[in-house]
């Protein structure tokens, strides 16, 4: 099992798309093991987006992600880091394939609705930025035997 950090960004909250998008994760059979609504501060934004802080688009990105609440969650599943990125689609909603979350709901490069960790190191770093260990509710969904074979 892998875990990834997912953020429903301010555009997702403001556009009332939270339920639809969380529903897609649930329908896929992924397991949400931690979730909270919170306000990202400029300090947290700089830590989260450390690799982008010096890019020309960073000031706009910070204003965007601190401009309304986000919903942070930890999602668990087999190969979930890759699976989640594929469910989101390309960074820009204009380039994301139809059928992906961004392809279906976003027409923007910045306002692309959802963030997900791009690899195992980023997932570990980002999970620690947003959640304390005691906020994680690990549990075994009762549907597991109907979602995958025992040896998967
Ligand atoms: P995310 O997957 O959260 O990772 C970095 C974010 O920066 C990205 O989604 C977009 O919201 C934003 N972003 C990436 N590239 C650009 C760009 N060229 N211009 C504006 N925003 C960008």
Average pLDDT of the segment spanning 131-147 = 95
Average pLDDT of the segment spanning 114-135 = 98
Q: Residue 32 — left, alpha, or beta (φ > 0 → left; ψ -120 to 50 → alpha)?
A: beta
Q: Is 152 inside a domain boundary?
A: no
Q: In angstroms, rounded to a whole number, what is the distance separating the alpha carbons of residues 132 and 4?
A: 14
Q: Is 151 inside a domain boundary?
A: no
Does the global pTM surpass 0.85?
A: yes
Ligand 1 lined by 57 (C-beta under 6 Å): yes
Q: In angstroms, rounded to a whole number, what is the distance separating the alpha carbons of residues 47 and 142?
A: 37
Q: pLDDT per residue over 50-62, tens digit each? A: 999 999 999 999 9
Question: Is 48 an active-site residue?
Answer: no
pLDDT class of 141 with cuts at 50, 70, 90: very high
Please give the distance of CA 21 from its chain centroid, rounded to a whole number: 10
Res 147: pLDDT: 93
User: In this structure, are residues 139 and 38 in contact, taking their beta carbons and an 8 Å threshold?
Assistant: no
Count of domains for the chain: 1
User: Residues 21, 106, 115, 117: which is the catalytic one?
Assistant: 115
List the CATH number of the domain containing 36.
Answer: 3.30.70.141
Q: Is 125 inside a domain boundary?
A: yes
Give the closest residue (by CA) to ligand 1 atom 20: 110
Domain that holds residue 131: 2-146
Largest CA distance in the chain: 48
Give the closest residue (by CA) to ligand 1 atom 6: 110
């Amino acid at each position: 099992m892998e875990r990834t950090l997912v953020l429903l960004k301010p555009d997702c909250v403001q556009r009332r798309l939270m339920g639809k998008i969380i529903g897609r994760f649930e329908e896929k059979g992924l397991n949400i093991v931690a979730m909270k609504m919170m306000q990202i501060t400029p300090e947290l934004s700089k830590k989260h987006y450390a690799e982008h802080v010096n890019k020309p688009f960073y000031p706009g990105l910070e204003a965007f992600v601190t401009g309304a609440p986000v919903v942070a969650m930890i999602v668990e599943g087999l190969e979930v880091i890759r699976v989640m990125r594929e469910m989101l689609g390309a960074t820009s909603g204009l380039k994301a394939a139809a059928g992906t979350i961004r392809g279906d709901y976003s027409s923007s490069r910045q306002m692309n609705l959802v963030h997900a960790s791009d690899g195992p190191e980023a997932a570990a770093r980002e999970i620690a930025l947003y959640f304390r260990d005691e906020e994680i509710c690990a549990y075994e969904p009762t549907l597991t035997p109907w979602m995958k074979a025992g040896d998967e």
